[in-house]
Amino acid sequence: MKMKKYTADTMVQAMQQVRKDFGDEAVILSSTIVQPKGLLGMFRKKRVEVVAGFDEPAVLKESGLPSADEMVQSATSGPDPSLEELKQDMREVKLLLKAAKKSSSFDQYPDSMQPLLDRLTAQELKPELVRTAADRIFSRMKEEKTDFTEAEQRQIIKELLKEELADLPFGGVNLKKKYVNVLGPTGVGKTTTIAKIAARSLIENKRKVGFITTDTYRIAAIEQLRTYANLLQAPVEVAYTADDFRQALEKLADKDIVFIDTAGRNYKELKFVDDLKQLIDFNLEMETYLVLAATTKESDMRAIAEQFGEFPIGQFIFTKLDETESIGPVYNMVTDFQKGIAYMTDGQEVPEDLEEATVGNLLTLLLEEGADA
């Protein structure tokens, strides 16, 4: 067997070199990731080292080594330790190749960077953003010719993420506008969220509040809102039609803020979106928020946001943050749709489990470290 060692930046490049020399019949005997040696080795990319082999009949004849057929015959007449050893090596190589496919795509960065990059990947932050963060850290490390602690790496990533969020609105309701309209699919906790925001407005900001519900599909939803409203000693109006909605506005004319609770429906169906347009007057002095559950798959959150795209949504509200380990999709939604966050909720208690969103507390959740905005 003719053997040759190859070193390349990636396994794909190494395999291309192997195929060029030996063709598709080549056998990979070993595959390892190697770190360049020397004082500055940690600042150089890790490389892939592959040992490949190929049985060439002409070479075997010239060398006097036994042919493949002779090896098989020898194996049938009795165990050949060298052949068994080769089979074991091949099994190990297959395992190595499988492991290589599953290995991190950040192997070219120093080991000191791996824990934080793994953290961001596990958080489901966009891969291209993780790569940008990794490149920025690595570039700074090379410039300063030193390794960085994890805290220093976090600070660099924090600076990058804050740059992306710099122009987006964060924070709660604008008390200068009278109507607060909350949209979202079923099951995300819109009614409870409205009650939390209303309670804060009443208790902390001394505003007179009222409620309108257009969720006439579920009796339980109306009763839930009535329960919260009774605790706050605030009136509730139910709007079945556009005329009902206009009358409700008139009845609540003396209130400082009116919270509008919309029906939780499957908004993949355009009919429900059209019904909402006909029912609510979006030309009012109104703030509109889209409520999404942090436990929802990112692809589904995107579909919901796109369906609501024709409404004047100013900010997101994210609920159920206490029920997920992945904050990355929340960050991805904010940057991709260029909408900030008004509130984040992490429980059912009214009004306690409601946090006015800031860039700082979002990044704290994402990076799991105490940091001020």
**Domain extents for the chain?**
2-102, 111-165, 179-367
- Domain at 179-367: CATH code: 3.40.50.300
Total residues belonging to the chain? 373
Helices (H) and strands (E) in the chain, counts: 14, 11
- Please tell me the predicted confidence (pLDDT) of residue 145: 87
Look at the block and give the residue holding tokens 């410039």: 143
pTM of the model: 0.69
Strand positions, DSSP E, the chain: 2-8, 27-34, 47-54, 179-183, 209-213, 236-238, 257-261, 286-293, 313-319, 340-345, 354-356
- Please tell me the predicted confidence (pLDDT) of residue 37: 58
- Please tell me the predicted confidence (pLDDT) of residue 98: 47
- Please tell me the predicted confidence (pLDDT) of residue 202: 92
- Please tell me the predicted confidence (pLDDT) of residue 290: 95
The residue type of 223 is: E
List the chain residues with pLDDT less than 70.
1, 24-25, 35-45, 54-105, 217-219, 264-269, 347-352, 369-373
Query: Angle 219-232/190-203 helices, nearest 10 degrees?
Result: 10
For 329, half-sphere exposure in the C-beta direction (CA atoms, 13 angstrom radius) is: 18
- Please tell me the predicted confidence (pLDDT) of residue 344: 92
For 100, half-sphere exposure in the C-beta direction (CA atoms, 13 angstrom radius) is: 21
